[in-house]
Amino acid sequence: MRVMGILGALLLASAGAVYGLSPYVEVGELGAGKDGAYLEVRVGARGWEGVQAVHVDVEYDRTGLEPAGFTAGDLFVEPLVLGPFDRSERGVSDVQLASLRGPVTVGDAAVGVFRFRVLDEGRASVRVVSFETAGEDWSVETHVSYANALGTGVLPRATRLLGNVPNPFNPTTEVRFELASRVGVSVEVYDVSGRVVRRLVEGVRDAGSHAVMWDGRSERGEAVSSGVYFVRFRAGSHAETQRVTLIR
């Protein structure tokens, strides 16, 4: 009864402090199933400590997506799961989980994966509009609400380098790229002899649109000379190179 009580309370928009926990949403590549294309949305957080129950609302574009299920993640062992409940009139999929073994203390873990059927790839947008947790004392903390929703916007259909703006440039330019899924990314600037001038990005990035600024300087912070340079973009197995021109 105590567990059911807190799960009911988690449906309310209770205000709470936000300390340590950093929720996130990750969207996978479009897949193909027996009912057509589908999309998987992973919701989790970094900095878990002493959490015993979680409530998540994922808002989706009803013209582009249709809820098709939920799978619990690695946050709890054998959790009690209520949902997902589809509130189609609002375009929200709602799920609640509680641990039957007591609070957990982990660093990075997933609440679970929401699955959607894709009706229109151009409108496949999702965002977390409620992310609430309860600890050992069953007090509720609200980490995400409509006011600070976590979203992806419309997902890029492909991973690609969009190029830099402006080009030619002086003194700075913005290198833009899109990712269809969360993946390891590197963006490097080379000179005409093939030497690395500057490493702009190195690490994992979430699906979506991204941009990074190059200020026309080398790794050592020295201003490079006018001329032609090459931006090398790699994301997983995908690779592209585009030419940029610096005019002093």
| Average pLDDT value for residue range 111-134 | 89
Kindly report whether the global pTM for this prediction surpasses the value 0.75.
Answer: no
Q: Domain 160-246, what fold?
A: Immunoglobulin-like (2.60.40)
Looking at the domain covering 2-152, what would its CATH class be?
A: mainly beta
Q: Which residue has the higher pLDDT, 110 or 1?
A: 110
Return the percentage of the chain with pLDDT > 90, whole number: 53
| Average pLDDT value for residue range 42-62 | 93
Are 70 and 114 in contact by the 8 Å Cβ rule? The answer is yes
pLDDT band at 157, cuts 50/70/90? low
Q: C-alpha angle 223/166/203, rounded to 5°?
A: 70
pLDDT at 152 over 70: no
Domains 2-152 and 160-246 share a fold: yes
Domain segments of the chain as ranges: 2-152, 160-246
Which has the minimum average pLDDT: 3-17, 76-90, 121-135, 171-185? 3-17
Are 27 and 154 in contact by the 8 Å Cβ rule? The answer is no
User: Torsions phi, psi of 146, nearest 5?
Assistant: -60, -30
Q: What contacts 24+ positions apart, CB below 8 Å, involve 187-191? A: 187/212, 187/231, 187/232, 187/233, 187/234, 188/231, 188/232, 189/214, 189/229, 189/230, 189/231, 189/232, 189/244, 190/229, 190/230, 190/231, 190/232, 191/224, 191/227, 191/229, 191/230
Nearest to 94 by CA among 102, 86, 103, 106: 86
**107-136 as b/e: b if 16+ CB within 10 A:** eebbbbbbbbbbeeeeebbbbbbbbbbbee
In whole angstroms, what separates CA 145 from the centre of its chain?
16
Are 26 and 206 in contact by the 8 Å Cβ rule? The answer is yes
What is the tens place of the pLDDT at every residue in 193-242? 999 999 999 999 877 778 899 999 999 999 999 999 999 999 999 999 99
pLDDT band at 58, cuts 50/70/90? very high
